[in-house]
Amino acid sequence: MDYKYIEQLLERYWAAETSPEEEAVLRAFFAQRDLPEAFAPYRPLFQTMQEEAQDHLDARFDERIMARIGMKDEHHHGRRPIMMRLRPLMHAAAVIGVAVTIGSVVNHIAQGTPEKPLWDYNAAAYQDTYTSPEEAFEVIDNVLQDVRHTYREATADATEADSTAANTPADSSRTATTDSAE
Amino acid sequence: MKTRLLIIVLLVASLATTASAQQQQDFASRFFMLHQDQYNLTCKTVSPSMMERVLQLPACDNDTERRQLLSEIRTLRIVSTPQHDSSGPALFALAQDLAHRNNKRYAPVLERQDNAIYRRRRGKNTLEIVILSLKPNGTFVLTDFTGRLGDDFLQRLSR
């Protein structure tokens, strides 16, 4: 069997020129049971390397380290707190919120202050007492007549009081009318 | 921490916006809300949608002046006591007091011993007219019109 390739690898290994893959080949070669005698002296070296390569941290290493430093290993034991788990969602909400706020401010600036609607009452707050428009019309008509009567009477009295006051300035009328509701 | 602070700021901002966008309450509903528990009051309401239906009645087509007046009214509320109720004068005084306490909003058009009229304006437009009446039989009646009422609404009404 030709072991030239192995010999070349060994030479390169001694010259520290081998790659990790080539060293793995050497380790695999020296791990075989039936090793040519010429290579036997090197077996212990590569066996040690093989064992070292197989060395790894045991399953409880993280746990023990975390216990030593007084922290819980959350990957293995228990769930992360809800605030931690919701953090990405909160970040997303904050970004959307900022974007919407900036957008509305820009829109507001671009369009100018929107004019308030003149009639600013809540239409939904008016629950009808009357079910038919005829019934409502009758009530409205009566109310308008009543208001007409009240207003006429009041303004007539006010005019009369004003003329009396003009004739006798010392007379004080208890009737007051103003139309300066600005 | 920063995220939480940002969320709180946004929440407060949105609440403030909502609060500023809140709609107004008319005088009659405010008065009724304040005194319905202590006094025997009834409140009758005509909504904006009912006013629209009223305008479609044939009775409105015949009288253009009346139709014009009705078209300016969007809602009507009548708050009243039963006839011969002894609480009439007290309620009249309470309603006047409410108007006086809100004098920036409701300006007096007319104030007499048994009648008072207040008006809410915005710019040159009248949005609400409140009429308080104390009838000879002791009944208290509060009539509240809202709408886009012409400046001479009452004068036109009294013709």
pLDDT tens digit sequence for B62-101: 788 889 999 999 999 999 999 888 899 999 999 999 999 9
Do A90 and B147 lie within an 8 Å CB cutoff?
A: no
Q: What is the pLDDT of residue A181?
A: 36
Distance of CA A30 to the CA centre of its chain: 59
Distance CA(B66)–CA(B46), nearest Å, equals 17
Please indicate, yes or no, if residue A120 is contained in any of the structural domains: no
Q: What is the pLDDT of residue A88?
A: 85
pTM beyond 0.80, yes or no: no
Do B109 and A123 lie within an 8 Å CB cutoff?
A: no
A:B CB pairs within 8 Å: 152
- Residue A151 distance to chain B (closest CA, Å): 7
B71 — contact with chain A (CB < 8 Å)? no
Q: What is the pLDDT of residue A79?
A: 64
Q: What is the pLDDT of residue A87?
A: 84
pLDDT in tens, A17-58: 999 888 888 888 888 888 888 888 888 888 887 777 666 777
- Residue A100 distance to chain B (closest CA, Å): 10
User: Among candidates B48, B127, B92, B104, which has minimal Cα distance to A116?
Assistant: B127
Please indicate, yes or no, if residue A77 is contained in any of the structural domains: no
DSSP-assigned letter for residue B83: T
Q: What is the pLDDT of residue A78?
A: 57
Q: What is the pLDDT of residue B5?
A: 67
Chain A hits for B154, CB-CB cut-off 8 Å, are 147, 151
Strand partners, B143: B78, B131
Please indicate, yes or no, if residue A71 is contained in any of the structural domains: no
Q: What is the pLDDT of residue A171?
A: 41
- Residue B127 distance to chain A (closest CA, Å): 6
The answer to whether B74 and A119 have CB atoms below 8 angstroms apart is: yes
- Candidate from A119, A129, A151 with C-beta closest to B45: A129
Q: Which of A145 and A62 is assigned the larger pLDDT?
A: A145
Q: What is the pLDDT of residue A175?
A: 41
Instruction: Say what percent of chain A tops pLDDT 90.
Output: 16
Do B78 and A147 lie within an 8 Å CB cutoff?
A: no
* Range B121-132 average pLDDT: 91
Please indicate, yes or no, if residue A176 is contained in any of the structural domains: no
pLDDT in tens, B13-60: 665 555 545 678 999 999 999 999 999 999 999 999 999 999 999 888
Q: How many C-beta neighbours within 10 Å does residue A150 have? A: 24
Structural domain containing residue A51: 4-55
Chain A hits for B157, CB-CB cut-off 8 Å, are 144, 147-148, 151
Q: What is the pLDDT of residue B38?
A: 93
* Range B139-155 average pLDDT: 92
Q: What is the pLDDT of residue B49?
A: 95
Q: What is the pLDDT of residue A170?
A: 44
Average pLDDT, chain A: 78
Do B127 and A179 lie within an 8 Å CB cutoff?
A: no
Q: Is residue A154 pLDDT above 90, yes or no?
A: no
What's the structural domain count of chain A?
1
Q: What is the pLDDT of residue B14?
A: 62
Q: Which of residues 80-109 of A touch B (CB under 8 A)?
A: 87, 90-91, 93-94, 97-98, 101
pLDDT in tens, A65-109: 888 887 765 555 556 677 778 888 888 888 898 888 888 888 777
Please indicate, yes or no, if residue A171 is contained in any of the structural domains: no
Pairing of strands B140-149, B42-46: unpaired
Mutate to test the interface with B, among A102, A115, A140, A152 (most CBs of B within 10 A): A140
* Range A146-168 average pLDDT: 76
| CA A145 vs CA A141, A173, B141: distances in Å | 6, 27, 14
Distance CA(B10)–CA(A94), nearest Å, equals 8
Do B158 and A148 lie within an 8 Å CB cutoff?
A: yes
The answer to whether B74 and B51 have CB atoms below 8 angstroms apart is: yes
Instruction: Say what percent of chain B tops pLDDT 90.
Output: 63
* Range A130-142 average pLDDT: 93
